Amino acid sequence: MHKPLVIVTGGCGYIGSHTVLDLLSNGFDVVSIDNFSRSKSYALDGIEKISGVRIINHAVDLCNYAVTQQVFDQYSDVAGVIHFAAFKSVPESVQQPLLYYKNNFESLVNVLQCIKKRNIQNVVFSSSCSVYGDINSLPVSETTPLSNPKSPYAYTKVVGERIVNDAAPAYGVSAINLRYFNPVGAHVSGMLGELPIQRPDNLVPVITQTAVGKIEKLTVFGGDLPTRDGSCVRDYVHVMDIAKAHTLALQLMMHSDKLIETINLGSGTGVTVLEAIKTFESLSGVSLNYEIGAPRDGDVVEIFSNPIKAREMLNWTPEHNLTSMMGTAWKWQQYLDQNQLLN
């Protein structure tokens, strides 16, 4: 039986590679486009070890329209595109805003041009809760007004959604923007997870790398913020739950009339940075070396989601709790060290 084909941009990245696994397990064929500028080819090996499938990856720069078009032209009858490929570091975007504007906008426009040219009907856009900026009321729903983005990265997601929302109806395409809160954890096998090429910016890989001594000391950015313990509050979601939502979004569009939607992906529960650290210490038995530092430019103080729309539209509810998130991330870190994958 013919399997529907999905093109995943950034398919070797953190969320992209886990979504590839979920798509494969739900009867899709997958082609990845990833030039490894922010990922490693090892992700292809991890996907194969877990699924038994060696997916095709085209290592091209999506900012080059001609070569991007050449890839798309190789495939007919594409069920949909899931667009992950983007730079995503908040601190780096503050330091190098033009790099982020060029890469994240140009790659998205090129992909949408190829979708239009090839008459592909469905697109899922990887967005972020960072679009909300500092908010006045919690939890955050899809109707919460967007405030001024706190970083150039966040602004690329605000504008990216607008680009998708303008292009989709103009070209007869269904589109779903998925606003992730904080994806963490790793595949339950421990054989695929987040692969930060440089020193990570995200909390959980910093925690696990501190636990094994790769990072000497973890800095908690802010200790006297207006939260229950003075540290930032985030809504953490297991990466496989995030991945599942992409499959569900694609399936919804494939079996619906044309739609354009924006959906939050969060657990609905806020967790402080210090609570996350304590959860990791409890399950791993490792005491982390950490200090309280000044708040970081571009970070919001507190944010967590209202997940009702995802439940109602996608029938999506996160299955993993914080202990599972930290446990799988720790299992992945140990697998990395045992196999010397990042040494």
Query: Under a CB-based contact definition with an 8 Å cutoff, are residues 208 and 284 in contact?
Result: no
How many angstroms separate the Cα of 329 from the Cα of each of 47, 49, 179, 186, 187?
17, 18, 22, 5, 8
Q: Report helix, strand or coil for 243.
A: helix
Query: Is residue 252 within 8 Å of residue 80, measured between CB atoms?
Result: no
With 0-12 / 13-18 / 19 or more C-beta atoms within 10 angstroms meaning exposed / middle / buried, residue 77 is: exposed
42 is catalytic: no
Note if the bond before 152 is cis, omega within 30 degrees: no
Which one is catalytic: 14, 100, 132, 153?
Answer: 153
Which of 316, 317, 228, 238 lies closest to 273, judged by CA?
Answer: 228
CA-to-CA distance for 84 and 88, rounded, in angstroms? 10
Measure the CA–CA gap between 131 and 147, rounded to whole angstroms: 8
Degrees, nearest 5: CA angle 72-78-81: 75
Which residues make Cβ contacts (< 8 Å) with residue 47, sequence separation at least 6? 17, 20, 21, 24, 53, 54, 55, 192
165, two tokens:
């929302």
Q: Report the catalytic residues.
A: 153
